[in-house]
Amino acid sequence: MASKALHEHTSPPAVSDPCRVTGVRHFGRYALITVLAPRVARRARPGQFVMVGIPGPEFHLRRPISIHSVAGEAIRLLVEPRGVGSGALCDLAVADRLEVAGPLGSGFPIAAGASALVLGGGIGVAPMQYLVDRLLAADASVTVAFGFRDAQQARLVSAFDIDQLWVTTDDGTVGRRGTVVDLADELQIGADTVIYACGPWPMLAAVRLWAGKRGLNGYVSLEAHMACGSGACQGCVVATDSGYRRVCVDGPVFDMTSVEALV
């Protein structure tokens, strides 16, 4: 890539703190949770995640949640209620307390002064606010496109503060009809554009194919089931061109051409 990358793959060691919820906003079934976590906020990089302990004796494993954004000493988490645990997170109220460990994993390399295309699908849009904030701070030219199933899922857009944001839905109820790759096809993308993508695996595979046909490259953030978040359980491995890698430690951000499962 011609642009200078500010490498944000790693950060200082993770910390684990009891943290206080200072804000909760709901967008349909989704929740944007603000947590006062100064030590995590200071160390965080776009694309990283935290492991969140859910209050209650019935919850034994922490849940991995992407860092949606950072504001001063607070982090924000955009949560979809996929199960009982994540549903309990969406039911949190101000002044509730959480055990938060992080930041964990690799972050997106920030291409300073570059042209960036940020693509998100479904709840995979969650880490993109922080990424866009950092790209703009690095004087990058940023275009953002999000794809959703329908109007209900597209309510996630309300959790974002992004000027150049395009939206598409599979059924055409919000924005344009089609996939986020269909939408990217209509955008003015330069030959030196860096791609940043997060979403379901089929979407990421389509993004890689689309980018490859245009001679573009970039980074993907992979979704995976995680039990520990520290690499100890080996439960989130993915095949890459340099062998098997753990999504929680070696990722979740990878060079898009390195992930064999996206071919």
Q: Is residue 203 part of a domain?
A: yes
Instruction: Check which CATH number belongs to the domain holding 169 and give it.
Output: 3.40.50.80
Choosing from 48, 80, 104, the residue where a domain stops is 104
| Residues 75 and 142 reside in one and the same domain | no
Choosing from 70, 86, 104, the residue where a domain stops is 104
Q: State what percent of residues in the chain have pLDDT above 70.
A: 91
| Residues 170 and 98 reside in one and the same domain | no
Say how many domains are in the chain. 2
| Residues 85 and 129 reside in one and the same domain | no
Out of 110-114, 193-197, 243-247, give the one with best mean pLDDT: 193-197
pLDDT tens string 190-216: 899 999 999 999 999 999 999 999 999
Q: Which amino acid is at 193?
A: T
| Residues 162 and 181 reside in one and the same domain | yes
| Residues 99 and 171 reside in one and the same domain | no
| Residues 149 and 99 reside in one and the same domain | no
| Residues 40 and 100 reside in one and the same domain | yes
| Residues 63 and 134 reside in one and the same domain | no
Considering only residues 232 and 53, tell me which one the structure prediction assigns the higher pLDDT: 53
- Provide the pLDDT for residue 7: 45
The answer on pLDDT for 3 being more than 50 is: no
Instruction: Check which CATH number belongs to the domain holding 33 and give it.
Output: 2.40.30.10
- Provide the pLDDT for residue 6: 46
The answer on pLDDT for 78 being more than 70 is: yes
Average pLDDT value for residue range 215-220 = 95
The answer on pLDDT for 26 being more than 50 is: yes
- Which domain range does residue 162 map to? 110-221
| Residues 115 and 100 reside in one and the same domain | no
| Residues 170 and 139 reside in one and the same domain | yes
The answer on pLDDT for 42 being more than 90 is: yes
- Provide the pLDDT for residue 231: 65
Q: Is residue 236 part of a domain?
A: no
Tell me how far apart the alpha carbons of residues 109 and 107 are, in angstroms, rounded to a whole number: 6
| Residues 86 and 147 reside in one and the same domain | no
Q: Is residue 123 part of a domain?
A: yes
pTM over 0.85: yes
pLDDT tens string 115-162: 999 999 999 999 999 999 999 999 999 999 999 999 999 999 999 999
Q: Is residue 3 part of a domain?
A: no
Q: Is residue 240 part of a domain?
A: no
Q: Is residue 138 part of a domain?
A: yes
Q: Is residue 259 part of a domain?
A: no
Across the chain, mean pLDDT equals 89
Choosing from 61, 85, 104, the residue where a domain stops is 104
Q: Is residue 210 part of a domain?
A: yes
| Residues 150 and 217 reside in one and the same domain | yes
